[in-house]
Structures are given as C-alpha cells and as structure tokens.
C-alpha cells in the first residue's frame, strides 16, 4: 500500500512540474534575445514594445519542439505583429524566418487566412476570439509536426505538416514547403507605425 501511495505521489508531482510555465522574457532586460532586421523592441514598464521597420527579436538559447509557447500581448486591433515558430537555423535577417518558419499572425484586420492566430497565409482561422484593446493570451502547441494555436482558450489553428494549403498569392507571403519539428522562436516588429505590447513570453514542455 505504501509503495502504491509513493508511486501516485510521484506521478502527481511529475504532472504538476510538467505544467509549470518557464519564462523566456524576464521583464527587466533582453537577456537571451537578439534583434535582426530593421526596427527594434523597447523595454517599457516591464513590457516589450514593437518599434520601427520589419525585424525580428528571436530567442537565442534553445530550439523548441514538443512544447507549448504562451504569449500575452495587446494592441493588435489596429497594428501588425507576429510570433515566429519552427525557425530552422539562427536568423541573421528578417526574411529567412518568414520563408523557412511559420508566422503565427497578430493582426485581426485581414481575411481568414491572414488573421490573428493563423499560420500566416497557410491556414484559415477557425474562430476570431481576439479582444481588441485588451490583453490577449496566445498559446502555441508544437506537437512533433502538428501545430495548434489557441487565442484566449479558443482553437484558431490546427495544422499538421502535409495538410493542403492555398497557393502563394502575394510576393510578401511565405514560401511554401515543409517546416522542421524543432526550431527557434521570435517576435516580429512589423512596421514603423505598428505598436504591439508583449508582457509575457513563456513555455512548458509537453508531457
């Protein structure tokens, strides 16, 4: 009986540990992050604020696979940004992640293939749960070659590598083709007039 209790306690404790969110942004400095491309991110009251032309602030310390990424942001009702995932190699400029990774869109002004929570121009939004002008929570699940995106707890994207995708139409849309199971992540600063705030970027490993 005692052995069974120990096993149950160990299992319960392990499950709790698996659910811990590990911060990637500390609210104090850019430790672990590096900017490429134009523009930058500004530290303001413990938050990251996008500024300037198109660039990428990417997390340098690890690649992510079989993990859940949480991003808490505000300001996408009239502005453009994104969260990049599955970047195969360390980026040196802003366009490589566009064409070799996925951008999870943050901008609700586009059509259903260019809306918050989709893999930009690859997938069609299943819902539109973003709350304009408020803090929104994006959770991106990387489960081998499957990607799920929830906004405020509601599923927007469920994509598995090999699913059909529309043809590339615009020159600025990403190149088609497979993305890796493991990759770097980053935040996009889109343009000079686009201001989006990020107050939390964290992750947890999948069980």
Give yes or no for residue 186 having a pLDDT over 50: yes
- State how far the Cα of 82 lies from the Cα of 175, in Å rounded to an integer: 17
Instruction: Give the chain's count of helices (H) and strands (E).
Output: 2, 13
The C-alpha R_g of the chain, in whole angstroms, comes to: 18
Task: Go through the domains of the chain in sequence order and give each one's CATH number.
Answer: 22-205 (2.60.120.560)
- State how far the Cα of 102 lies from the Cα of 121, in Å rounded to an integer: 10
pLDDT at 1: 45
List Cα–Cα distances, 162 to 125, 146, 165, in angstroms: 18, 10, 9
pLDDT at 18: 52
Q: What percent of the chain has pLDDT over 90?
A: 82
- State how far the Cα of 65 lies from the Cα of 78, in Å rounded to an integer: 31
Give yes or no for residue 49 having a pLDDT over 80: yes
- Bridge partners of 48? 43, 198
For the whole model, what pTM was predicted?
A: 0.90
Q: Which residue bears the tokens 């705030």?
A: 197
- Bridge partners of 98? none
Name the DSSP class of 194.
-
């Amino acid at each position: 009986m005692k052995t069974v209790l120990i096993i149950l306690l160990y299992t319960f404790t392990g499950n709790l540990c698996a659910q811990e969110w590990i911060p990637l942004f500390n609210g104090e400095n850019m430790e672990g992050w590096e900017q490429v491309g134009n523009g930058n991110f500004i530290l303001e009251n413990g938050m990251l604020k996008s500024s300037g032309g198109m660039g990428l602030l990417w997390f340098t310390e690890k690649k992510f696979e079989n993990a859940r990424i949480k991003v808490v942001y505000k300001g996408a009702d009239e502005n453009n940004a994104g969260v990049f995932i599955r970047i195969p190699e360390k980026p040196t400029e802003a366009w490589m992640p566009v064409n070799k990774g996925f951008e999870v869109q943050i901008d609700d002004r586009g059509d259903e293939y260019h809306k918050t929570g989709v893999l930009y121009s690859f997938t069609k939004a299943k819902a539109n749960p973003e709350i304009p002008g408020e803090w929104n929570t994006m959770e991106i699940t990387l489960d081998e070659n499957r990607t799920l995106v929830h906004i405020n707890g509601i599923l927007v994207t469920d994509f598995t590598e090999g699913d059909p995708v529309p043809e590339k139409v615009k020159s600025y849309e990403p190149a088609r083709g497979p993305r890796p199971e493991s990759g770097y992540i980053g935040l996009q600063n889109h343009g000079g007039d686009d201001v989006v705030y990020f107050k939390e970027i964290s992750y947890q490993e999948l069980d």
